[in-house]
Structure formats: structure tokens, C-alpha cells
Structure 1
Amino acid sequence: MRLEDAYRACRRINAHHGKTFFLATRLLPAHARPATHALYAFARTADELVDNPERDPETALGELERQLDKLFGGDPQTDPVFQALADTVRRYALERELFDAFLHSMRMDLTVTEYPDFAALGEYTYGSASVIGLQMLPVLGTVVPRQEAAPSAAALGEAFQLTNFLRDIGEDLDRGRLYLPTGELAAFGVDRELLVWCRAHERTDPRVRRALGSLAARNRAVYRRAEAGIPLLRKESRSCIHTALVLYRGILDELARHEFDVLNRRVSVSLVRRMRVAAGATLGWRS
């Protein structure tokens, strides 16, 4: 397959599965979009092996890891996602450690069903989300040494992931997983049993709403750390990341608007709101 066709296949994966992020990528300079789509497509491929497996996920992840071995060893790639990823890794000198950390978190999903506190959850969110921000840094470019922008890039990935945990709590429970730290929930009198009961009976509970509201406030603090890093990016990349941040943080606004009664509904930012934010970004974001 031609390299441009491989990148085009990655773009289709991004457009289908990551509509909010895909909209934001339209604001990137044209040269940065293919690599962004390739990184998204790889992450989505691994995620699907775990969340929607058609065969044993541990075996599938092992095969994915061996494909990475070949990729970093310089072997030719035939799979379109890996063909595009190989070019992206070479072009931006991406480190293997970031991909290994990602696969480690994917494997955690096969055995770990809940986390006692944010310290424990941090091991998972680093690999599942923060490394995505770190992979993106060379693609986006920085106006400072990359290591100075790295903490904010990692925080942005973490912020997006925490928002997903709040929005998708019901769906995650159906898979047997509870990502929200049990210690934080317990402070409000909430445990897995109460959440499962609310999900099964399509009910809510004031204790659950208060707990989710507190976790959303913590999530907003992570967004503030991430937002502080936007001026450290190259100017042509800032509007994309700012748009993605505003849109994803807007999910927290929607959760609050529904008073965190979200165990049986999927909350999202409306298309009108997404288009309005994106349109505003095209007029120029000022750091």
C-alpha cells in the first residue's frame, strides 16, 4: 500500500471513532495531521482489542507488541496503521518507551477492575493517556525545549482520560471496571454496589452526584495545568489543542447541567457547540 493511502486509512479511523478530536485536528497545519491520525489509529486499534475483543485480548496485545518490535527494528510494514505509524515514528523520532507504557496500561485493563486512589490510578492514566500527549509534542512542535512542555502535554492526556471516566462510568461498569478511585467515592458514601444498583434500576442518588461533582472539580484543575502549556506550543498548533481542550472540558459542563445523573445516559457536547468553538478557533486563538 502506498504511504499516503495508509495515512488516509488512519484518517478514516480517527474520523469514525474520535469525532471531537478529529474536528480539532482540522485546525492543525496540514503537515501535522497525518502523524496525528496515525497515532490515534494505533491507540484505537489497541483499545479495540481490549474493549471489543474478537479473540483473546492478551494474545492480540502480544501480537501487537511483536509488530512494534518489528517496526522499531526497521522491518517493512504491510498493515496500513503500522505502515503510517512507522513513518511517523521515524519522522518524529518517537521513543519506544511511550508505546510500551501504553500497552502496559492496556494489559492492566485485562486484570485490574478498580483503583483505591489517584496514586494507583496514575500508573494507568500515564500509559493510557499521558503518553499520547507526549507522543504528540514533537508533531505539534514547541517554542521551548520539549521537556519544559512535557508536563502540560501529559496533563492534557490525563484530563481527557478523567473526563472519559466520568462520562462513561455506566459503560465501564458494564465491562466490570470502575476507574474512579474507590477511596474518593467512599468519602461520599458511594461504592461499586451503589453505582451498579443505580445503573441497573436507571436511578440516581444524591451521594453519587456529589461524588462525581467533586471528581469533576479535580478534573478541571488538571485542565488548568494542561492549558498553561498551550503557549509553549508552536503558534500554528495552539488553536487545535485549545479547541480540543475547550470541547472536552465542555463535557464536564454538560455533566453538571445534568446534575451528574449520567449513569444511564451518554453526555456529549452538541454539534452546534462543537462547530461554534471550531469556527472561533479559525479566527485565531491568542495565548
Structure 2
Amino acid sequence: MTEVESAAGIAPDAELAAAYRVCREIAAAHGRTYFLATRLLYAPRRPAVHALYAFARIVDDIVDHPTLDAEHGPAGELDMVEKQLRVVLEQGVPAASGPAERTRVLIALADTIHRYDIAPQHFWTFLDSMRMDVPGTAHFHARYTTMTELRAYMRGSAAAIGLQLLPVLGTVVPVVEAEPAAAALGEAFQLTNFLRDIAEDLDRGRIYLPADELAAFGVDADLLAHCRRTGQTDHRVRRALAHLIAINRDLYRVADPGIDLLDPRVRPAIRTAGTLYSGILERIEDFDYAVFARRAVVPQHRRLRVAAAEFTTAALRRS
């Protein structure tokens, strides 16, 4: 973003530009697939997408990587983030407390919310789901019994992200008509993360796969812990993962028609993100479900090839 005019007087232009730069740096450092897909977006929209990503990232870090010197603990930090965001949205002035990076992210986020008329409720829903990850809070969950229960969590952790993005991306229909597909795509991305990161989540004492779906294949928490210790995927777990990958692909299929409801200029970026993220499922299968021994990652050359193909196709359609 070379020139920024502050929406709703959130911050002076120079300060706002600096805030968006911080968001871009966070997206580039932590969201490789996400950042690559963003490069295909219509340039004026990229800063807003970076702001949304950066906010989600700092909240994730509060939950997943709490610091010993945090004054309020993860739950208190989430409450502080919500309070700071509410203040900057309502008063146009960021709160002075909190880390400088966080303050800048919130400045950019509040500007994005005002600029694109994003419903603030999507951010409160997101934060409520993040509280479900924090031990000691009223809604903490380390396990999920059913897919319905897990999807209630994903409503905030994933579907809300898709709904935040939708006004930024733009649609060729009323936004409300595109919301179900956008929510489904967010859930599809999240479930892919859960399948890829099962070992890391076990290390944090969490299982983000529905217990009843796992039990149908003879899998329980003890078996998953054994697989983690040995680095070997039991045949029962392999079958359960294959089943859950099929469910995940159904979510991508539900979401896919929604891409045609978006502004034509952003469709290549979203198709790229969908193709690359669903490609993680293929990598899990290619490695014979060895999710306890290695992390499934789409190779850089494939990410670049998919992005280039989408960019070329879009260019040909416009010519």
C-alpha cells in the first residue's frame, strides 16, 4: 500500500501505512500458501487481507504460544484484544496498552472493518472460539465428541474468517447469497489443518477430530497418543483419516460453486488457495497417512505452478 487514506479517522495516514506494512510482514512470514494466493488478488485489496490474516495470527499465537511473562494469561490477553479492538472501532483511537505490533495490527484491522463494512460480530465469534482453546475458560474444549460439536467450534475459528473476507473480496451477488459457500471454504481449510497438524495438536493435549467418527474405526485418544510416540500410523487410524479426508473434500465441493459468486478479479486467488489447501490432503495420502512422522506440505514448485496457471487463465479470460 503506497498511499493510505484513513477510514473513519482511525489513524494518521503515515501511521496507518506502517500498520498495514506490519500486517504484510506477518502474512509473508507465517502464511506461505495464504500469502502466495494473496499475490493474485487485485492489488488494492491485498492490505485488507493481510490485516485480517495478521489479526487471526496474533490471536492464534496468544492461544498456542502463551508467554510466561504475559500479565493476564491467554484468557486475559484475549479479553484485552477484544477490548482494544472495540475501543478503536468505537472511538477511532487505539488503546495505548499492549505490544506495539498488536496495536498496529488492530489499527489496520479496524480500518479494514470500516473500509469494507465488515460486521464486527464475525470477530467476536472468532474470539469466542479461540477461548474454547484456553484451559480454565468456561467454554474450554480439549476434545470434540461429534462433528456437529467440532463444527460449532469451526463456526468461529474458520467460517467466521471466510465471512470476514467476503466483503473485501467483493461479490457479483448480494453478500448474503455468497456467505454459505464462504463459510464452507473456511471450514474446509480448518479441517485440512486439523488433519495435517494432528501430531502437533496432540502435543498440546488437543484433538480436533470428532471422537465418534474416530471410534467407528476403533480409534481413541490412547491409540492416537501411541501413534504419536512411535511415529507410526496404525491401520485403524489410517482408515479413519481416509474417512475424514472424504468429509473434508465434501466441504471443498460445497464451497467451490461460491467462487463464481466472487468478483472475477479475485477468483484466481481463491481458486489457488483452494487448490493448494486441498492439495495438502493429497500429500497426506501420498505419504500413506504418516501424519505422526512428517508434516504434509505442498512443495514450493507446485504452489508456484498452480498460482501461475490460475494467473494465466485469468489473463486469457480478460483478453
TM-score range, shorter chain: over 0.9
Residue 264 (structure 1) shift: 2.2
Pairwise mapping of residues 195-214 of structure 1 onto structure 2 (< 5 A)? 195-214=224-243
Note if 1:35 corresponds to 2:48.
yes
Q: Which residue matches 1:221?
A: 250
Residue 218 (structure 1) shift: 0.5
SS of aligned partner of 1:228? helix
Q: Which residue matches 1:101?
A: 125
1:44 to 36, 57, 65: 57
Q: Which residue matches 1:72?
A: 89
C-alpha distance in 1 between matches for 2:253 and 2:245: 13
Residue 284 (structure 1) shift: 2.3
Q: Which residue matches 2:109?
A: 85
Q: Which residue matches 2:154?
A: 125
Matched letter for residue 63 of structure 2: V
Matched letter for residue 259 of structure 1: D
SS of aligned partner of 2:92? coil
C-alpha distance in 2 between matches for 1:191 and 1:99: 33
Residue 17 (structure 1) shift: 0.7
Matched letter for residue 173 of structure 2: V
Matched letter for residue 31 of structure 1: P
Pairwise mapping of residues 1-287 of structure 1 onto structure 2 (< 5 A)? 2-54=15-67, 55=70, 56-77=73-94, 79-110=103-134, 111-285=140-314
User: What CA deviation, in whole Å up to 9, does each residue of 1:57-111 have, x standing for no partner?
Assistant: 0111111111122022123126210111111011011112101100001000112
C-alpha distance in 1 between matches for 2:107 and 2:86: 13
Count matched residues. Answer: 286
Ranges of 4+ aligned residues in structure 1 off by more than 4 Å: none
Structure 2 alignment gaps of length 5 or more: 1-13, 97-102, 135-139
C-alpha distance in 2 between matches for 1:49 and 1:212: 29
Point out which structure has higher relative CO (alpha carbons under 8 A, 6+ apart). 1
Residue 123 (structure 1) shift: 1.2
Matched letter for residue 98 of structure 1: H
Residue 3 (structure 1) shift: 1.1
C-alpha distance in 2 between matches for 1:100 and 1:142: 24
Q: Which has the larger radius of gyration?
A: 2
C-alpha distance in 2 between matches for 1:195 and 1:279: 39
Matched letter for residue 133 of structure 2: D
SS of aligned partner of 1:283? helix
C-alpha distance in 2 between matches for 1:12 and 1:159: 26
Matched letter for residue 114 of structure 1: R
C-alpha distance in 2 between matches for 1:278 and 1:235: 16
C-alpha distance in 2 between matches for 1:69 and 1:229: 31
Q: Which of 74-83 and 3-12 deviates more?
A: 74-83
C-alpha distance in 2 between matches for 1:2 and 1:107: 30
SS of aligned partner of 2:241? helix
Matched letter for residue 91 of structure 1: R
Residue 221 (structure 1) shift: 0.5
C-alpha distance in 2 between matches for 1:237 and 1:203: 41
SS of aligned partner of 2:155? helix
Identity across matched positions, percent: 54
SS of aligned partner of 1:198? helix
